[in-house]
Amino acid sequence: MLDHIFLTVSHIGRAIAFYERVLPILGITARHDYDGSQGPARHDDLAGFGAKSRVFFWLRQGTAAPGAVHIGFVAESEAVVEAAHLEALAAGATEIHAPAPQLHYDPRYYAAQVRDPDGYSLEFVFKSWQHGS
């Protein structure tokens, strides 16, 4: 299980605004900013997002490398996939594919994919056998 990930973005303010709009739809509602000057030498300032008393998705300013990362976010239903997809597009994402079953994986794998403002590939995914209540 992963504890956290850092995503390097080219414009931290733009990225924060984008993720503050999209992630709450997925239940990721916690926000925390970390002042890098309080840590070891040359530690980055971080903008964090999380849920359930954990901050696990962190943004930092730098040179984006969108081809290096694909992030799949859990959605609790097909409706949440659709809502996250629409909000991401409204917030400035570009579409890779609209919400639909991903039959090449499994007929119960329902997802949508977008590129965030830095070009990172984001997937909103509902797997009924894993994510359903």
Q: Read off the pLDDT of each residue in 27-50 and give the average, rounded to a whole number.
A: 91
pTM of the model: 0.94
Mean pLDDT of 115-121: 98
57, amino acid identity: F
pLDDT at 132: 65
> Which domains are present in the chain?
5-131 (3.10.180.10)
pLDDT at 104: 95
Which residues, 6+ apart, have CB-to-CB distance to 30 below 8 Å? 48, 49, 50, 51, 53, 54, 55
Q: Closest Cα to residue 70, out of 103, 29, 111?
A: 111
Residue 88 has pLDDT above 80, yes or no: yes
Q: How far apart are CA 91 and CA 89, in angstroms?
A: 5
Run of H or E including 33:
strand 30-34
Arithmetic mean of pLDDT over the chain = 95
